[in-house]
Structure 1
Amino acid sequence: MSAEVRSAARHIIAHQGVEALTLAEIARRVEVTPAALYHHFKGGLPEIVCRVAEDIVDDLVQELHSAANFPPADNFAMRLIEPVRALRNWAITHQPEFNLLFGTPSTAAGDAHKELTSAWVRRLAAVWGPVFVQLWTERRFPVLAEDDMAPRLRQQMLDYRKDTGVDLPPGAMVVMLSCWRSLYGQIALEVFGHFAPLFSDQEPMFELLMQELVHGMGLEDQYRPPTR
């Protein structure tokens, strides 16, 4: 029953959006009463949303890991870029799921949305974090010295390192998170249609941003344009 409920809820999210998700609609699809759902999900609708989000993140992270492992091991730029390209493609083709994970907190998730967000942030850190760690070990890139960092910023980086297990010095962590902030912003602007219809094809701007980011880490020679 649990798998059926999660599958039904995911179908609703994918085709109608998370705000269309109700216990009544899920129960109708799996042919039980809404009250019966509490036997499997004591937390009700917020718990169902979180469990479905876990399924979505599992599939997404597997796809991103595959993309990161495709380029040669010594091409750090492409090992960072390929999963970002995969994330962009996934976001464009899975907009309701992207909105659930990355968009405005949903009413259906309730207070559980913070738990949902924290969980996928850790999972995504496990995709790019190891590449940054290897890059830092083998080919240092420019970073802020710890003594030059604002105390609160330094502490946040240390807290993030402890929480995610990404073993980078605070300055290198700033670079990693700054890259993620820029790329997420570009993807979100595209997915939520903020540039439409001014730019019908936003891939060139997206690729330019990635070139700029790897250039800042001294990896411009490793960049490869997308294949068609």
Structure 2
Amino acid sequence: MRAAVDTAADDPTLPRLVVAAEGYRQWAIAHPERFQLLHGTPLRDYAAPAEGPTTQATRRMSSIFERELFDGFSAEQLAAADTPVLSSSLRAHLEQLPHYGLGYLPPPATALLLSAWGHLHGLVVLEVFGHASLLGDHQAEIFRMAMRNLHADIHRQVPVHVGTPDTADQTEPV
């Protein structure tokens, strides 16, 4: 993912999130055994060491994905993201999760990140495990379309103006 993002041309029509997602997909397709080792069925009674190489790799990947999904948004904007109401216990749990990308993420943004990750990763898993073969040679095209839609959907849920003087002026009686 990092190599894909680092070498991406500044193409305003292709969000960097899509570039990162395609890098992840391409790596998974090129290395299905490694992908399955990292993301396949977990071994019973085994937890990867907190500072081990697979955990560190997951953190780096998460950091890139988080940055490309939310880059340019303020903490206030991310806190005001339009998500279904989070239960108080889920909100408290999300507050406690470690973050490796932009730093602290408000619970609504963390919920969006996890949902987006499920969508991206789910499509890659389907392809790597052969469950998307009905698409034939069109898997990359479908994936790109899905990632563009994912990016647009997430960005629609994060307000452009929060706590700015422009917004305050709009709420004042005339």
Using the size of structure 1 for normalisation, the TM-score is 0.55
Secondary structure in structure 1 of the residue aligned to 2:72: helix
Map of 1:216 onto structure 2: 153
Map of 2:163 onto structure 1: none
Equivalent pair of 2:2/2:64 in contact (CA under 8 Å) = yes
Q: Assess, with a 3 A threshold, how the Cα gap between structure 1 residues 122 and 157 changes in structure 2: closer, same or farther.
A: same
Map of 1:134 onto structure 2: 71
Question: Following TM superposition, where does structure 1 have runs of at least 4 consecutive aligned residues deviating by more than 6 angstroms?
Answer: none
Equivalent pair of 1:125/1:164 in contact (CA under 8 Å) = yes
- In structure 2, what residue type is equivalent to 1:111? Y
- In structure 2, what residue type is equivalent to 1:88? R
Q: Which one has the bigger helix percentage? A: 1
Secondary structure in structure 1 of the residue aligned to 2:28: helix
Alignment match of 1:200 (pick from 136, 143, 158): 136
**1:71 shift after superposition:** 4.2
**Deviations for 1:69-101, whole angstroms, at most 9, x for unmatched residues?**
32439x596221111101101101100000111
Secondary structure in structure 2 of the residue aligned to 1:164: coil
Residue 23 of structure 2 is aligned to residue 86 of structure 1:
yes
Aligned partners of 1:71, 1:158: CA distance in 2, in Å?
35
- In structure 2, what residue type is equivalent to 1:126? S
**Deviations for 1:113-137, whole angstroms, at most 9, x for unmatched residues?**
4656644332222212233443322
Equivalent pair of 1:133/1:167 in contact (CA under 8 Å) = no
Aligned partners of 2:35, 2:129: CA distance in 1, in Å?
10
- In structure 2, what residue type is equivalent to 1:143? A
Alignment match of 1:164 (pick from 94, 100, 109): 100
Higher relative contact order (CA 8 A, sep 6+): 2
Map of 1:182 onto structure 2: 119
Map of 2:172 onto structure 1: none
Equivalent pair of 2:18/2:144 in contact (CA under 8 Å) = no
Query: Rg: which structure is higher?
Result: 1
Structure 1: give runs of 5+ residues left out of the alignment: 1-63, 220-228
**1:106 shift after superposition:** 4.5
**1:173 shift after superposition:** 1.6
- In structure 1, what residue type is equivalent to 2:110? M
Residue identity over aligned pairs, in percent, reads 28
Equivalent pair of 1:67/1:79 in contact (CA under 8 Å) = no
Q: Assess, with a 3 A threshold, how the Cα gap between structure 1 residues 114 and 102 changes in structure 2: closer, same or farther.
A: farther
Equivalent pair of 1:81/1:210 in contact (CA under 8 Å) = yes
How many pairs are equivalent? 150
Aligned partners of 2:3, 2:41: CA distance in 1, in Å?
28
Map of 1:143 onto structure 2: 81
Aligned partners of 2:114, 2:128: CA distance in 1, in Å?
21
Using the size of structure 2 for normalisation, the TM-score is 0.70
